[in-house]
Structures are given as C-alpha cells and as structure tokens.
Amino acid sequence: MALSEHEQRLLDEMERGLYQSEADVMQTASGSRRRVNYRSLVLGIILALVGIGVLVGGVAAQQLWLGLIGFAAMLGGVLLMFTPGAADSAEPSARPTGKSGGSHKERTPRESFSERMERRWDERMEGDR
C-alpha cells in the first residue's frame, strides 16, 4: 500500500530521529568500553559478601541498626564493583577517535550490528520499488 506524501515525510523524519538517537546511544556505549579494574572488582565482591553476612546477622539478632549497616556495606560493595576508578574514567577520553569526515563505511572497517541492519533495510526497500 502506497503512502501519501505527508505520511512519507513523517516516516522519513521519524527514521532520521531514530537513526540520530541510535547513533548517540551507540557512541556513548562504545566510549564506555574500558579495562576491568580487578582490584575494585575483588574489593567490591568482598565488601558485598561481608555486607550480606552482617545483614543476615542483624536479622538473626533482630537488630535493625546492624541490618542497616550490613545493607549499606552490601550496597557500597556493589557500587565499588561497577563504578570506574579515576584511572579508568580518564582512559576513554585520552583515546584518539580518528573519525573525521568521509562516508559512514570509510569510518569503520567493520560494520556494527545497527549498520548491518540499516544496510539490510535499505536493500529491502530498494528491492520493493
């Protein structure tokens, strides 16, 4: 079924907005890749396990304050595991991007998932016309 000109313009506008927001998300996600800080990971796991133990001990002793301390320790351990350290957060911005100008395929030698899906969609749409 053919679309009217107005519907086609709206669809194109929605598509552009989707691709732009997807590109922003992918850029943010690709910039967050970093090496694992094993020290904070191990310390976070240990702190979370100690927090669970203190929480269970506080519940068993029916001491609310002890349970709250255990919960806070457990939460702190989980945050320590997943929060990047000072050295980790400076690393991605120090990396040169090397993405200036040129077509989209010239920028990346290997297509990402979203680029492959976009290319497939474009091929399907060209085949229908």
Residue 37 backbone class (left: φ over 0; alpha: ψ -120 to 50; beta: rest): beta
43, part of any domain: no
Residue 59 lies in a domain: yes
In a domain, 8, yes or no: no
50 or 25, which is more confident?
Answer: 50
Residues 6+ apart with CB under 8 A from 7: none
Look up the domain containing 52 and give its range: 48-83
Residue 11 domain flag: no
> Does some domain include residue 20?
no
In a domain, 12, yes or no: no
Domain-embedded: residue 118: no
Does residue 106 surpass a pLDDT of 90? no
Q: Please give the tally of structural domains in the chain.
A: 1
- b/e 100-113 (16+ beta carbons within 10 angstroms → b): eeeeeeeeeeeeee
Share of the chain above pLDDT 70, in %: 69
pLDDT in tens, 50-67: 999 999 999 998 989 999
User: Each residue of 54-100: pLDDT tens digit?
Assistant: 999 999 989 899 999 999 999 999 998 888 765 544 444 444 454 44
Question: What are the residues whose beta carbons fall under 8 Å from the beta carbon of 2, sequence distance 6 or more?
Answer: none
Q: Distance (Å, rounded) from C-alpha 94 to C-alpha 116?
A: 29
- The answer to whether position 23 is within a domain reads no
